[in-house]
Amino acid sequence: MYSLNLPSSSASRLQISLILDALHLALMNHCIYYYLVINHANFDALIEIVWSSKLLVVMEVLIIFPVNLCYVYRIWILSEGKSRILPITVGIAITLSSGIATVLIWSSYQYHVFSDVIEFEWSAYMGLGTITFSDIVITSSLCYLLATSRTGFSSIDSLATKLMVYMIHTGCLTSVCSIVAMITCAVMPLNFIFRAIEFLLAKVYVNSFLALLNARHYGHANTDPNASYNRHGVYRPELHIQMSEDQELRASQRNVFKHSDDETVDPSRFVKQPIIVTMEINSLSSV
């Protein structure tokens, strides 16, 4: 389960990503239903490209590009106090990739039958290659910033190492999907297996973004041995703070009303004594 106790900005991005993922799934279902149910054994309809298949390309761009921007924002945050050359360079590279995504969308609306897809095969290579390049740049940049952010404290260094492993795994997963799609497109261009892998690639990016939102909560929970959790297993630091304050208040009350001879005394005695001591010290200092 993904945690829902997120800031308003993160919660809004989460809702948008889930909506885009739902639309992507709906278009996939429509495409499959159109060819396998509505036009079953209709060979004339099977050679035509349905509108939902073209719109899937648009949805994939709307899913992948914002996720990369979120990672660029993480790079900007991690580079605080350091040189801003790296995040600016990565941001420019990811922004320029949006131009290639625009070309990919344009090319998808230039063919109307599946036989024309071979003529625009270069657009598939360009789009998948751009995705792979973006994943490598983002992953290497995050790992570099995390490696240079070590402080010598074991808890912080351990968290940085865990985040580096997470980034490498996430970047490798998306890169492997895009590379496999390119290989299948080059080896088997007529059976459109690469399109199925592209559909899977969009889902991987959505899961990567959802895991990114949860990584900071579980990371803080692992670094704090006294962390508090609610009944859903979500880390709630404010509960831990409140419990600590309550424990300190109860401990102070026990110390105040506890006498060395285990007898209960009037609490007003302990209120008056510091005032008397303060007056004596002030009187001595004035002499």
pLDDT over 90 percentage in the chain: 11
Q: How confident is the model at residue 245 (pLDDT cuts 50, 70, 90)?
A: low
Answer whether 267's CB lies under 8 Å from 256's CB. yes
Do 100 and 130 touch, CB atoms closer than 8 A? yes
Phi, psi dihedrals of residue 229, rounded to the nearest 5°? -130, 150
Instruction: Annotate 79-92 with b (16+ C-beta within 10 A) or e (fewer).
Output: beeeeeebbeebbe
**Beta bridge partner(s), residue 48:** 113
Residues in Cβ contact with 101 at an 8 Å cutoff, skipping those fewer than 6 apart: 61, 64, 65, 127, 130
3 state SS of 242: helix
Q: pLDDT tens digits for 39-86?
A: 888 888 888 888 998 899 999 999 999 899 988 988 888 888 788 888
Q: DSSP of 136-149, one letter per residue?
A: HHHHHHHHHHHHTT
Q: Give the residue, 152 or 110, on which the prediction is more confident.
A: 110
List, in sequence order, every residue forming a beta bridge with 228; answer none if it has no partner. none
CA distance 79 to 86: 8
Q: What pLDDT does residue 103 have? A: 87
Q: H helices of the chain, where?
A: 8-33, 43-46, 51-78, 85-108, 121-147, 154-187, 193-223, 237-256, 267-286
Q: pLDDT, tens digit, for every residue of 78-111?
A: 888 788 888 899 999 898 888 888 888 888 888 8
Instruction: Give the whole-angstrom CA distance, residue 124 versus residue 108.
Output: 9
Q: Quick check: 239 and 230 in contact, CB under 8 A? A: yes
What was the pLDDT predicted at 33? 93
